[in-house]
Amino acid sequence: MNSKQRAYLKSIAMVTEPIMQIGKGRLTPEITESVSEALEARELIKISVLNNCQESPDDLARVLAERTKSEVVQVIGKKIVLYRESKKKKKIELPK
């Protein structure tokens, strides 16, 4: 992903509400599966990391990206934005 594409995805993410939360329950296989399903359906998702989570948002973003084969668009404070192109229903057209 180049910087122009990342900037485009960040602009979309600014107006997107978080669809998931990760708290003290940590990163379970169920959460990873939910994130993967959400990425397939939406391509771009925002996740909130709650204050009671013991892991840092940067670490969570890196692990989630590895497990779901997605890309970390950005991590700002306690928000994670991930992107993965859908295999079935492509919704977001990235700039070249």
pLDDT in tens, 17-68: 999 999 887 788 999 999 999 999 999 999 999 999 889 999 999 999 999 9
Return the pLDDT at 11: 95
Q: State the Cα–Cα distance between residues 83 and 69, nearest whole angstrom.
A: 9
Q: State the Cα–Cα distance between residues 94 and 64, nearest whole angstrom.
A: 22
Residue range 3-83, CATH number: 3.30.110.60
Q: Of the candidates 95, 6, 92, which has an alpha carbon nearest to the alpha carbon of residue 43?
A: 92
Return the pLDDT at 88: 84
- Domain residue spans in the chain? 3-83
- The whole-model pTM stands at 0.93
Return the pLDDT at 91: 86
Return the pLDDT at 57: 94
One-letter amino acid for residue 85 of the chain: E
